[in-house]
Amino acid sequence: MDYTQLGRTGLKVSRLCLGTMNFGPHTTEADSYAIMDQALEQGINFFDTANVYGWKKGEGVTEQIIGRWWAQGGGRREKVVLATKVYGGMGDWPNESRLSALHIRRACEDSLKRLQTDYIDLYQMHHVDRLTPWDEIWQAMETLVQQGKVLYVGSSNFAGWHIAQANEAAKARHFYGLVSEQSLYNLNARMVELEVIPACQHYGLGLIPWSPLAGGLLGGVLEKQAAGRRAGEGAQKALEKHRDKIEQYEAFCKAMGERPADVALAWLLHQPAVTAPIIGPRTGEQLTENIYALSLKLSPEQLKTLDEIFPGPGGHAPEAYAW
């Protein structure tokens, strides 16, 4: 397993991050345990979850599964760098969502109980809250850090200017600020290259891409059809829109002798600022397949071909659109 530091921190994390969103709704608790054990055996020490995962409002189903897995002992908790999130609705009352100081405090306490731990390594804001002042957000986060309940703070789904706004506000308070951003980023979704990635690089944030396979679109959707296997509904709809690109892409991967999913993950691992793409295996077999991407090196010519199939926005803003 390869490791890298998370942004400008001294924290070392694996180059693949285990996403746990499937734990509960699509993967049984027993299978979830097996996948997490296998991840540790393979050297993956970076796990991502959220208080809303499990999709039963207020229950934190996925966090509970992780907590019960940790409770088995064996040094599991000590081996894992855990990222969880706050923002989503955890109830129907007015202050049970978003980023008020009240909700941040309550959400953190509830996550700690579900996870059966006394600290969260990386506490991520799941979305920007345009209605809450940054001084209020940072005051709440500072308190959690001072109490030892949170070690680092990250963001998710922020625009580039939100990252700048957040970290400038943190700097004024002499607080460390954001250390990571979790964004939608894959070969078919490259808008973050305009401003989010430059902001991450300027402020020293690690980039954690979610949906690296574009919901299955980059995972060999045409191959699956040819083999009589049905791709997910999201991938099927996306295929109708992007069929020409996907046909070129899968032909390119076939000529390389590589699986489309592996090439998509390897491409992300070659991109500047990327710390660790989030993989979401539903089975141990899928986890093993994902790990192979770490050893797949793409040549400059291969990277150029992928850029031609999936053109990005043209580089960083404003040059990408100004001239």
C-alpha distances in angstroms, 181 versus 70, 157, 184? 26, 7, 10
> Is the CB of residue 211 less than 8 Å from the CB of residue 184?
yes
Give the model's pLDDT for residue 234: 75
Q: How far apart are CA 72 and CA 65, in angstroms?
A: 11
Q: Taking 90 as the threshold, does the pLDDT of residue 223 lie above it?
A: no
Q: Where are the beta strands (DSSP E) in 126-196?
A: 150-156, 178-184
Give the model's pLDDT for residue 225: 83
Give the amino acid at 221.
V
Domain range list for the chain: 3-214+260-297
Instruction: List, by residue number, the catalytic residues.
Output: 53
Mean pLDDT along residues 231-258: 90
> Do the bridges between strand 17-19 and strand 46-48 make them parallel or antiparallel, or are there none, so unpaired?
parallel
Give the model's pLDDT for residue 323: 77
Indicate the pLDDT class of residue 237, thresholds 50, 70 and 90.
Answer: confident
> Is the CB of residue 167 less than 8 Å from the CB of residue 137?
no
Measured between its terminal Cα atoms, the distance across the chain in Å is 42
Statement: 3-214+260-297 belongs to CATH 3.90.230.10 = no
Tokens of 164: 């700048």
Give the model's pLDDT for residue 230: 63
Q: What is the DSSP string of 11-60?
A: -EEESSEEE-TTBTTTB-HHHHHHHHHHHHHTT--EEE--TTTTSSTTT-
Give the model's pLDDT for residue 229: 67
Tokens of 217: 């679109």
